[in-house]
Amino acid sequence: MRRVRGPTDHVVVVGAGLAGLSAALRLAGAGRRVTVIEREDVPGGRAGLLTDGGYSFDTGPTVLTMPDLIADAFDSVGESMDDWLTLDPVLPLYRARFADGSSLDVHSSVDAMASEVARVCGPQEADGYRRFVRFVSELYRLEMRDFIDRNIDSPLSLLRPSLARLAAIGGFRRLAPKIGQFLKDDRTQRVFSFQAMYAGLSPYDALAIYAVIGYMDSVAGVYFPRGGMHAVPRAFAGAAEKHGVVLRLGETVDRVEMRGGRAVAVVTSAGDRVACDTVVLNPDLPVARRLVGRPVRRRLRYSPSCFLLLAGSTLPSDTHHTISFGHAWKEVFDEILGGRLMSDPSFLVSSPTASDPSLAPPGRSSYYVLFPTPNLDAPLDWRVEGPRYLDRVLATVEERGWTGFGDAMEVVHTTTPLDWAARGMERGTPFAAAHTFGQTGPFRPRNLLGENVVFAGSGTQPGVGVPMVLLSGRLAAERILGPDPTYRSRAWL
């Protein structure tokens, strides 16, 4: 494994997102002097916070899985996650509503989920579900240790016995047909394949190895931190400061000063020069590369984006996560990936106050409504489209069962692909570069540049999603500190 060369006594981390803070904790725990510089006034990055009228909204991810990865970051400085965060299981994980009027509650308990599948789709489908769980569990075991949770320097790093096993069980076949071997009902197929969109792909194009995303939420469980998702970076930042990390909020980094292939200082827009031995860059990869004067030369394919509605509402809620599926399915992906808005949308409605009522005034609810859209490569003018699409979103949400949603809104905030771009996200997508075969594993942009510049976040290895971003922070720290054999033994044995 390639490592940073030269001294690493003082590390500057640019960006207090989940990946940057994960790296900072591990570096501080190893005795490095760490300075984190963040342009916003609060830590969190994409896991940001918006407050308005007594409502607290998460502005980024809403689904938290694999909490052991959070616990491990705290453990690196000798802290217990339970002293900093309270994570409650989300039950059900989410509710899937279908165009025929049926619904399916998704559970992490295999027995409970099999009973639910049997109730909705019949006993044969429940048997198929159990076989599917065995498949994705094996997939997770093979992928995580050797291919996801590991720094990869070249394709030769993949030549392990587990690679042959992955091929043997069908991990390199297409996702949708592979799921179809186990699940025959259109509804369960959708429930366990829509996660391909997280990777920027259609389930008809994605490899079956991405069924591991379904394992992370549908089998391993979904949790919600009291205080919202933003509570995670707040807790990380608090633990980091306790252990000596200097957190500089509200300061924008203008550039990284380079001497040849070595970073020697970080310069803020106010002209402050912070000398350092190593730099960890957490902004979106193209932004990070521009900071070091090494723009991305390779043309990357970016994931679709989304239209996000945050609403404070008088409409009561009882389910935390609901996915509403339209009649169309393959056509949805064809439209989004072809640069068109969905004609028959499938979308997510999250109401975090169903789990934590403190996020809204008494008797009120907060809603997070996400509609997938094309990214800015599509010929859509969001300055014009944005207000029109809000009307369309509200009409669709009401048609799908949230009657009176529009009239019940007291606080409204929207985010379009143009807004994501203004926040520094390439091509206006919060989901970074798509996980095509040529942008996955050893082919994804590397996390080490020159002698001492390390990248973290969804744009680099291992990829998109809260678990992957947390791992990217650990992998970034490993580039500086070297492998931690005790981590591997406690994580995977």
CA distance 486 to 401: 50
Cα dihedral 52, 223, 472, 78 sign: positive
Cα dihedral 370, 376, 378, 384 sign: positive
The pLDDT tens digits for 34-57 are: 999 999 999 999 999 999 999 999
pLDDT at residue 266, rounded to an integer? 98
CA distance 291 to 314: 44
DSSP 445: P
pLDDT at residue 217, rounded to an integer? 78
pLDDT at residue 157, rounded to an integer? 67
Phi, psi of 282 (to 5 degrees): -100, -10
Count of H helices and E strands in the chain? 15, 20
CA distance 237 to 227: 15
Mean pLDDT of 303-311: 97
The pLDDT tens digits for 227-275 are: 999 999 999 999 999 999 999 999 999 999 999 999 999 999 999 999 9
**Is it the case that residue 344 has pLDDT exceeding 90?**
yes
Provide the pLDDT confidence category of residue 487 given band limits of 50, 70 and 90. Answer: low
Higher pLDDT, 440 or 246: 246
**Is it the case that residue 493 has pLDDT exceeding 50?**
no
Mean pLDDT of 181-197: 95
Phi, psi of 321 (to 5 degrees): -120, 130
The pLDDT tens digits for 377-416 are: 999 999 999 999 999 999 999 999 999 999 999 999 999 9
Closest CA to 203 of 193, 218, 217, 212: 193
pLDDT at residue 182, rounded to an integer? 97
